Structure 1
Amino acid sequence: MVQQIDGGSAAMTDRQDAVDAEVAPEQFRAAMARFPSGVVVVTTRCADGTPRGFTASSFCSVSLEPPMILVCLANSADSAASFECCDRFAVSVLAPDHRPLALRFATKGTDKFASGGLCLSPDGLPTVERALSELDCAAHARHPAGDHTVLIGRVKGVRLGEGSPMVYYDRSFRTLA
C-alpha cells in the first residue's frame, strides 16, 4: 500500500523501487505470450545475392507520413549480420496456411529458401506466395534494444492479398475465430 506523504514523495519512491525491480526472463516471456500478434517473414539479400530471412511477431507501423514500419530481430538470429547492413528488405504478412513456412524461417540453422512457398517481389527480394500483404522497405534506421535490434523501414511498395491472418499467441500459431 502506498501512502502519500509530503506531496507524494513516498509514493514516488515506492513506484521507482517497483520500476527498478528485476523481472525474470521466464516471467516476462509468459507475460508477453498473453499478447496476440500477427506473424511476418522478413527477407533481404546479402551483397553477394544470398537470400536471408526470419520470422517475426514484433512488427508494427511507425508512421503514416512517410509510411514506416518496425520489426525486431534477435541479435542471435542466423540472418542478423545480413540485416545489420542491408539497404532494403521485404515484409510478408502471413495467413494460417503459411504455418510451415513461418516455422522454417524461425528455425536456426536451416536453409530457409530450399523449399517452395516463395516468389520474388518487383524489387527482386524473396517474398511469401499468397501473403496477406507484402511491403517493400528501404532500411531507414537500426536501434540496439537489449538482445534485439529494432529495424525501421520506409515503405516503398505495397501489394495486398486476401485471407485471414495467422496470430501468434501463448507460444503457438493460431487463427482468428
Structure 2
Amino acid sequence: MQADDLDNVREWRNHPDVRRYMYTQHEISPDEHHQWFMRASQAPGTHLLIFEQNGVACGFVNITQVKQGPIADWSFHLAPFAQKGTGFQLGCAVLGHVFDHLTLHKLCGEALAFNERSIRLHRRLSFYQEGLLRDQHFDGVRYHDVHRFGILASDWLKAREALAQ
C-alpha cells in the first residue's frame, strides 16, 4: 500500500456494507485515515497490502506480526464493488505471501459473529476456529461474540495442495 492508495482504501472502509463489520463503525475522516497510515506504515512488523485483480485494486490487507515473532494477525476488507470470489482469491494470495515470503509460522484472524461471510471464508481457507470470545465486542448498542481463527504454515501447505486440485 502506498500513500496514493489512501483515498480508495478509506472510501471502501467507509462504505456501509464494509463498515458494519468493523470494530470501529464510525466514518473515518481523511485526517484520521492519514494519521493511521503514517503510524501503521512505519510500525515494525506491519505489512499493508493492496490486492489487485487484472490491475484493479479491489482489497486491502493489514498483517501485523506479534512482538516481531513468526506469528501475525490479519485483517482485510474488500472494495464494495468486488466480484464474488474475490475474498477467497485475496485470502489465498495472502496465505501464500505470509507463509512463503514472510516465512511466518502462524496467521490469526477474528470475525464478529454476525459476519457470516468472513467466518465462512476463514473456514474455507483452512483456518481452525481456536476460540469464541463471548460478548467480546460492544458496538455502542449491544455486545457481540467474536470468532478467533488461526492457521499454521503446515496447515496451509496441506490446504494449498487440496485447493489446487
TM-score w.r.t. the length of structure 1 is 0.28
Instruction: Tell me which of the two structures has the higher relative contact order, counting C-alpha pairs closer than 8 angstroms and 6 or more residues apart.
Output: 1
**Structure having the higher Rg:** 1
TM-score w.r.t. the length of structure 2 is 0.29
Q: Which has the higher strand share?
A: 1
